[in-house]
Amino acid sequence: MSKKIKEIQIFRHIIQIILFFLLPGVYILAFSELKSIFQMIIRGNFNFIQSLPGLIEFTVAIIFTILMGRFFCGWFCAFGSFNDWIHIASKKILKTDFKISEKLDSILKYIKYGILALILIFILTGKNDILNGTSPWDAFAQITNFSTVISTITIGFIFLILILIGNIFIERFFCRYLCPLGAVFSLISKISILKISKPTEKCGNCRICTNNCSMGLKLYSIDNIRGGECINCLRCVETCHRENPHVNIINTEVNSATASSFVVAIFAGIYGITNFGNSISIQKGLASSNAVISSTVSQGIKYKDGDYPGTGIGFNGGTTKVSVTIKNSKINAIKTISTEDTPDFYKNVENIIPNKIISTQSTSSVDTVSGATYSSKGIIDATQNALNKAK
C-alpha cells in the first residue's frame, strides 16, 4: 500500500510543480476574470464571444470543474500547491500536529462564501477600488519584487503572512475557509461526473480516511462525495488499508492512478483547445470588431482616425509601448509594440485590458487585473497616452 500512496502523491506533486512554474497565474487570473464577467453583466455589455480572449483561465477552470470536480484546486492551482508545501514543511520541520474540532471547522468553511459575497457587493456598488492593495494573491503573485509588494500591497502582504501562519497549523487553511474562487467551485462541482464512493458499512472505526483528508471532511460518515469541499487529492483512496474508497466516473469504478492521469489529460486538452480557439479569434480580429459593434458606452470624445503610439510604465518600472488604431472616431484596436514587463502575466493582461477598453471606449472605467495590477496599468496608461494624441 505504501508504494501506491507514494506513486500517486508523487505524481500529484510533480503536476503541481510543473504548473506552478508553467501556469503560475491561472488561479489569480481566473478569479479576476470572474470579477470582469460580473462587472460586464452589471453594465449590460457582456458578450461571451467578444470577451473570450480575456476569459481563458476562468472558462477552462469552470468547464473542468463542472466535469471533474475540484481537481483544479487539489492538483493545478499554484496558490493551493504553495499552501500544500508550507504545511508539509511545517509538519516535517516544526512537527506540528494541530487538530481543529469538526464543529468549528464546518462553521469556518462558510467564511469563504461571505468573502465572495462581499467582493461581489463591492463590485455591484462600484466600490471595488476599496479592495485595491488588500489581495493576498496579488502579493503572492508579485512576491519576487519584495520592495514593491511591501510599499504598494501592504495589507495584502499582511494577509498573505497570516494565511501562511494559518496553513502551518491547518492544512489548506486558505482553501478551506477563505478562497472566494473555491466558494464558486464548491457550488458548481456538485454536478461533476466524478465522485469518490466509500460504503460506510465497510469502514470500521479507524477513520484513517478522515484523518488524512486535506480539507478535513468527515468521510467516515458518508458513502460518497461529489465535488463540494472535496479537492480530489485522492489521499483517502490511497491510505485506506481496506481499499474501501474508489474513484467513480459516470457510475463506473476507475483505478485512482488511471483516473488522475485521465483528469490531467482532460485539463491539458481543455486548456489547449480553449487557447487555440482564442488565438484563432484574435487572428480573425473577432474580439476587436465585436467589441466595437457592441460598445454601449459613449464618452463624448472625438478621436481622429489613424494609428497612434503610446507608452506607459508597467511592473517593476518596465516600459510598455502600444499602438492604438482609431477608425470612424472609435477605438478599433490596441496592439502591443513592445514591453519590458513579466511575460507570463503580461500575456494574460494583454488579452483582457485592451478588450475592456475597446468595449467601453474609455480607459477610465477599466479595472486592473488581480495579480497583475502594474502590468494592467502599463497598458492602460500607454493606451491613454496614445488617445491623448488622437483627440
Over residues 83-124, the pLDDT tens digits come to: 999 999 999 998 888 889 989 999 999 999 999 999 889 888
**Residue 187: its pLDDT value, please?**
93
Q: Which CATH number fits domain 296-390: 2.40.128.110, 3.50.50.60, 1.20.1060.10, 3.90.1010.20?
A: 3.90.1010.20
List residues bridging with 325 in a β-sheet: 307, 333
Q: DSSP letter at 315?
A: G
pLDDT at residue number 161: 94
**Model pLDDT for residues 145-172, shown as the tens digit of each residue:** 777 778 778 898 999 999 999 999 999 9
Closest CA to 309 of 290, 328, 330, 324: 324
Please report, for the chain, the start and end positions of each structural domain, with discontinuous segments joined by +: 2-131+170-276, 296-390
**Residue 271 contacts by C-beta under 8 Å, 6 or more apart in sequence?**
60
Give the residue ranges of the chain where pLDDT is below 50: 1-5, 285-299
DSSP 158-206: HHHHHHHHHHHHSTTHHHHHT-HHHHHHHHHGGG-SEEEE--GGGTTT-
Residue 354: the pLDDT is: 87
The contacts of residue 150 (CB under 8 Å, 6+ apart) are 157
Residue 333 has what DSSP assignment? E
Please report the pLDDT score of residue 84 as a whole number: 93
Specify the pLDDT at position 4.
Answer: 47
Q: Distance between CA 39 and CA 45 in Å, rounded?
A: 9
CA-CA-CA-CA dihedral for 180, 183, 185, 187, to nearest 10? -150
What confidence score (pLDDT) does residue 241 get? 84
pLDDT at 257: 87
